[in-house]
Amino acid sequence: MTRIIDGKQLAAQVVDDVATEAKLFLDKHGVKPGLAVVLVGEDPASQVYVRNKIKRAEESGLNSIEHKLPADIDQNTLDQLIDQLNQDPAVHGILVQLPLPDHLDENAVINSILPAKDVDGFHPVNVGLLSSGQDAMVPCTPLGCLIMLRQVMDDLTGKHAVVVGRSNIVGKPMAALLLRENCTVTTVHSRTQNIEQICSEADILVVAVGSPEMVKADWVKPGAVVIDVGINSVEHDGAYKLKGDVDYQAVAPVASAITPVPGGVGPMTIACLMKNTLTAATQQLS
């Protein structure tokens, strides 16, 4: 029987654990771990993500601070806000919701956040630490994927892991995490030749490309664990449904374990943001 990895249930466990630790943190330090969320503009998807993050922060016993900024804000004003948050002792984690409007420099914004408060794990210092196998703030989605893998695999050592996608947000940090777990890691992408053959050799298949149902059953080794990071809105008979990057109905009978979409990686991403905020607060006050 294929095991369905329930991201909602696992995320609830992570949030409960964070809430317990956050209460101990409050008792010890007299403050709640603080998460500042910066939202620029009126992008509907970003607004939904931010609402969910703030809700989870409250459930986790964190102090959430929201900054809503107009879409036409200039770079200097945004930089000044980041600087204020960097210096605010009540703020332990800073998240700037991406994407930003085109006139703003995303890399400059990411680089301006103190690495210690970079709960997204995007700052070059954290990227470098992770890549070199040192302790780092790990991006939330790859961290959630790793927690899910550990739920269904006792030991990842020696497993052949294939990561489909090479983005800075998921693909690259996911590969670094799997290397740290002693996997043999292959990264494939849009320019890879024989991608289906390479994927079919994987014990662990993590797919993050943003292409609906790209991975078919013959791409998957029987008994492999499949983590589907993709969230794609697809129209069908006049209605929109969320689909992953994996053809779930075809692949599920082949895999030993698989994440659904929705209800898989998505909830874990937000839960790991809470986990990272608690980690950042603990490190800053230790």
- In a domain? residue 8: no
Is the same domain home to 235 and 150? yes
pLDDT (tens digit, 9 = 90+) per residue, 234-279?
A: 888 888 899 999 999 999 999 999 999 999 999 999 999 999 999 9
Going through 122-279 in order, the beta strands assigned E by DSSP cover: 160-164, 184-188, 204-207, 225-228, 232-236, 239-243, 257-258
pLDDT grade for 176, boundaries at 50, 70 and 90:
very high
Alpha carbons within 13 A on the beta-carbon side of 217: 6
Give the CATH number for residue 199. Answer: 3.40.50.720
Owner of token pair 């995007």: 122
- In a domain? residue 51: yes
Give the CATH number for residue 47. Answer: 3.40.50.10860
Radius of gyration of the chain (CA): 19
Q: What residue numbers bound the domain in which 97 lies? A: 30-115
Is the same domain home to 146 and 260? yes
pLDDT (tens digit, 9 = 90+) per residue, 59-95?
A: 999 999 999 999 999 999 999 999 999 999 999 999 9
For residue 176, give every residue at least 6 positions away whose Cβ sits within 8 Å of its Cβ, in sequence order, or none.
Answer: 130, 131
Is the same domain home to 107 and 177? no
Binding residues for NADP(+), by number, are 165-167, 231
**Number of structural domains found in the chain:** 2
**DSSP conformational letter for 101:** P
Residue 37: strand, helix, or coil: strand
Is the same domain home to 98 and 166? no
Catalytic residues: 53, 97, 120
Q: Answer whether 159's CB lies under 8 Å from 194's CB.
A: no
Is the same domain home to 159 and 56? no
Binding residues, by number, are 165-167, 231
- In a domain? residue 161: yes
- In a domain? residue 131: no
pTM summary value: 0.95
- In a domain? residue 237: yes
